[in-house]
Structure 1
């Protein structure tokens, strides 16, 4: 059984239709969401019940999202990464996540192809949504991940580690050396990495 909290912790049943009468925001029809995602009808119903239980209004604002997500990383500070993650789920950029936004993103993350997942990841790293990833954007995401994992984990992480990792990754991704990473460069580099890793093992 899915739950909103349970699904967030990995981030990474009735036969009747969705119960919509008690929420302020009503999601799109079940059939339409089935067509847009790789979830079954029963899975969508279970996801919606969990979502509605945590967010009775049918919408998740950023502070609620941060509060829920941070509970899974008590050893660190997950608020900055949760902010970036929230923006990646907030497809229409209106400051709240609808059930549709959540379940469409979740379908990609859990059941999408490699290319679909990489497209979603590019959107996460492209903080200002201009279609490019800069070194500064990559560094902000990397620092937020280190903060989320905690400074007191073993082995200890040096302060300069995020910058070193970004420098290394960015050089590999920015293939034409123009100072930004396009989605084509991002996907090509990541796919080659996956292939090389697979062949190595």
Structure 2
């Protein structure tokens, strides 16, 4: 019989989501089942708290920042629907040659990663923002002095215009030789 939650998605909805995200119908149905299991209020949306109940996000030091990325800046929205959920997940789809969607292109993956560091959403990563992210990632495993040194050296090496911050273009240049496509890809329900 299958999962009853998958019956709630119509074929045209699945086709629309597939077109916008690149996920297969089977992946969409399985992710919809996961989405509905997280939807404690049965209202067809997820809140920040719902997303933070995902065990992998709950233990991730950047879990809160990742959850923040699910919500559009400036809208004040406190919940997301299934299509919005899928569009964020699409950033993490592996890139397939000749079938690349804009959402999971190298540039979009870099924009998503940049947003993780740009805490105040001003389009620049400051030393303090970088330091805050490093503290989230390593906790108390490294001294404050060492973290400050790492943040300052990173800014020094990436900052090309001398403003003591990292712009998106500088961020991209710093990651030029990094296989972002591989590092920011998750195999979804194969």
Residue 61 of structure 1 aligns with which residue?
47
Q: Which structure 1 residue ranges, 5 or more long, are not aligned?
A: 1-12, 22-27, 196-201
1:10-159 aligned within 5 A: 19=8, 29-55=13-39, 56-69=42-55, 73=59, 78=61, 81-91=62-72, 92-111=75-94, 112-147=104-139, 151=140, 156-159=141-144
**Structure 1 residues 82 and 178: alpha-carbon distance in aligned structure 2, compared to 1, 3 A threshold:** same
Q: Give the Cα–Cα distance (whole angstroms) in 2 for the partners of residues 127 and 69 of structure 1.
A: 23
* TM-aligned CA deviation for residue 20 of structure 1: 5.4
Moved over 4 A (4+): 69-72
1:144-183 aligned within 5 A: 144-147=136-139, 151=140, 156-183=141-168
Provide TM-score, normalisation by structure 1: 0.68
| C-alpha contact (below 8 Å) 1:18/1:30 kept by paired residues | no
**Structure 1 residues 128 and 65: alpha-carbon distance in aligned structure 2, compared to 1, 3 A threshold:** same
* TM-aligned CA deviation for residue 18 of structure 1: 5.6
| C-alpha contact (below 8 Å) 2:117/2:133 kept by paired residues | yes
Q: Give the Cα–Cα distance (whole angstroms) in 1 for the partners of residues 64 and 172 of structure 2.
A: 23
Query: What's the RMSD between the two structures over aligned residues?
Result: 3.0
DSSP 3-state at the match of 2:46: strand
Q: Which structure 2 residue ranges, 5 or more long, are not aligned?
A: 95-103, 181-190
**Structure 1 residues 98 and 141: alpha-carbon distance in aligned structure 2, compared to 1, 3 A threshold:** farther
User: How many residues align structurally?
Assistant: 164
Provide TM-score, normalisation by structure 2: 0.71
DSSP 3-state at the match of 1:57: coil
